Amino acid sequence: MDEDERARLAEFVASRAPALMRVAYLLTGDLGDAEDLLQSALAKTIPRWGSIRHSDPEGYLRAVMYREQVSWWRRLRRRREVPIGTSDSGVRDSSADADLRLALRAALWQLPPRQRTVVVLRYYEDLPEARVAYLLGCSVGTVRSRTHRAITRLRQLLPNMEPLELRR
């Protein structure tokens, strides 16, 4: 990798790392795991940087993160820790709806990892079902059923939450 490519890579990482870190945090539910996920995805992306810099490096990196997270679930399926309560995540949120976001974050942590990932990809990343299915290596029907189960569970966990379109 020549000096120009290193400079472009450093600029990309510096400018996009906060957004990528937020996605990693939403996928993992833990700041330390999010840092590990992003670092692992970067380690897999950097050797291919020269071939992806002209297309969509952020999209490529996000796909690597999603797939890496799925691999972690498969390896740690039985040994996964379940967070109890909430802690300061280190991810800053300047929204006026902090209480809503804290309640939603706590509810997301209570979802199984695969349901949480589908919710993050569908609603935070705003990806279509077919793209989510492709990224997770499953069928569109699986994405739909996981989304349905996740939304049903979130409604159980947050029964008094108004639909967002009613809040003004």
Over the stretch 43-60, which tens digit does the pLDDT of each residue have? 998 888 777 756 778 888
Task: Please give the CATH topology (third level) of the domain spanning 96-161.
Answer: Arc Repressor Mutant, subunit A (1.10.10)
Q: Which of 147, 28, 37 is nearest to 81 (CA)?
A: 28
Q: Given this model, what pLDDT does residue 166 score?
A: 37
For the whole model, what pTM was predicted? 0.54
State how far the Cα of 118 lies from the Cα of 121, in Å rounded to an integer: 5
What is the band of 82 on the pLDDT scale with cuts at 50, 70, 90? Answer: low
User: Which long-range CB contacts under 8 A does 29-38 form with residues at least 24 apart?
Assistant: 29/83, 29/108, 29/109, 29/113, 29/116, 30/83, 31/89, 31/90, 31/91, 37/65, 37/68, 37/69, 37/72, 38/65
Q: Given this model, what pLDDT does residue 84 score?
A: 55
Collect all residues with Cβ–Cβ distance below 8 Å to 163 and sequence separation of at least 6.
Answer: none
- Cβ pair 108, 150 in contact under 8 A: no
Q: Mean pLDDT for the chain? A: 81
Rounded (10°) CA dihedral 69, 75, 77, 79: -110
pLDDT digits (tens, 9 = 90+) for 95-134: 446 777 778 888 888 999 899 999 999 988 889 999 999 9
Q: Which of 156, 144, 79 is nearest to 110 (CA)?
A: 156
State how far the Cα of 55 lies from the Cα of 141, in Å rounded to an integer: 30
